Structure 1
Amino acid sequence: MGNFDEEWARIQADARERVARTRLDSAGDGQGSGARPGLGADWGAKRAAADHLDRETLPGVASAGERPVDSLTQAASRLAGWETARGLHTVLERWQAQVSALRGQLEVESNALRSTASDFQGLDAELGHRMRALNPSITDPE
């Protein structure tokens, strides 16, 4: 492991390299790079991701979350009267709270993906309608 000065010099060199690689879209001639192929929002993919969360991930989390419950409960009952039993109950309560929090967060993410997909689709349709109203020669790319 090098000394502080060597490490500091390497960190500074890495930072300079990152800055040199960074190019703002308006750099150069001021025209920007314009739209790139494939740049857009794929609302179908967002809905598919939400469906996957609902159909695969959430049930899997629920199932995995229940696996240790019986064994922890049984172990705690066998150790009744011992501090270990109380500790196992605490572990179980925290485990269930964490599983519940994870399921809640996954549901929030699923809802956010669906909402974002709907928002993007609606905005895309609205902008397309406005553009065609201004210039009827503009056609829908789909």
Structure 2
Amino acid sequence: MADAFDEEWARLQADARDEIARTRLNSSDGGGAGAGGDLVVSWEAQRAAADVLEQELMPRALRAATRPDDEMAVAAARMSDWETGAGLLTVAEAWVRKTAALNTQLRAEVEALRATAGSFQGQDQEILYEMRQVGDPEGSGTFQFSLPDDGE
């Protein structure tokens, strides 16, 4: 019975080593974007993600954080004569700190997404400007570039 376990364990370890080697080989092109190697950045998607964070996730997190805090405070007040009440107060204080940290982190993510989107959009506009300065190299009149409308 032990031999069967040892054989299966050795096979699983070998399979894991093979998978790690394949993963390293698949990402060795330096692109870091999988087999295709193309990295596509959409500043519209970054702004949309920031909007979802700000308008949906942050309010939900705030509501979810407030309810247990209120309930713990009530329970702690009812059990104030017991050690459990002091424990609940400690938990409530930790909950407030952690939810405040979560809110701060979400706010930072929103700001980072918007800043990155603005940076990429500015870079796209700069490249577009430079390409337009080059003009129509073949004189065909079909040299046209435009950026996607970001809705602003």
TM superposition score normalised by structure 1: 0.79
Displacement after TM superposition at 1:62 (Å)? 0.8
Q: Which residue of 1 aligns with 2:29?
A: 24
Q: Which residue of 2 aligns with 1:117?
A: 117
Q: Which runs of 5+ in 1 are unaligned?
A: 27-32
Q: Which runs of 5+ in 2 are unaligned?
A: 137-142, 148-152
Partner SS, residue 80 of structure 1: coil
Q: Which residue of 2 aligns with 1:136?
A: 135
Partner SS, residue 121 of structure 2: helix
Q: Give percent identity, aligned residues only.
A: 35
Displacement after TM superposition at 1:120 (Å)? 0.5
- Gap change, CA 1:9 and 1:41, over 3 Å in 2: closer
RMSD of aligned Cα (Å):
2.5
TM superposition score normalised by structure 2: 0.74
Q: Which residue of 2 aligns with 1:6?
A: 11
Displacement after TM superposition at 1:20 (Å)? 4.7
Displacement after TM superposition at 1:132 (Å)? 2.4
- Gap change, CA 1:25 and 1:79, over 3 Å in 2: closer
Taking CA–CA contacts closer than 8 Å with sequence separation of 6 or more, which of the two structures ends up with the larger relative contact order? 1
Which residue identity lines up with residue 18 of structure 1 in the other structure? T
Q: Which residue of 1 aligns with 2:42?
A: 42
Bigger drift between 54-63 and 83-92 goes to 54-63
Q: Deviations over 1:56-109 (max 9, x none)?
A: 111111111100122211111111121101100011011111110111000000
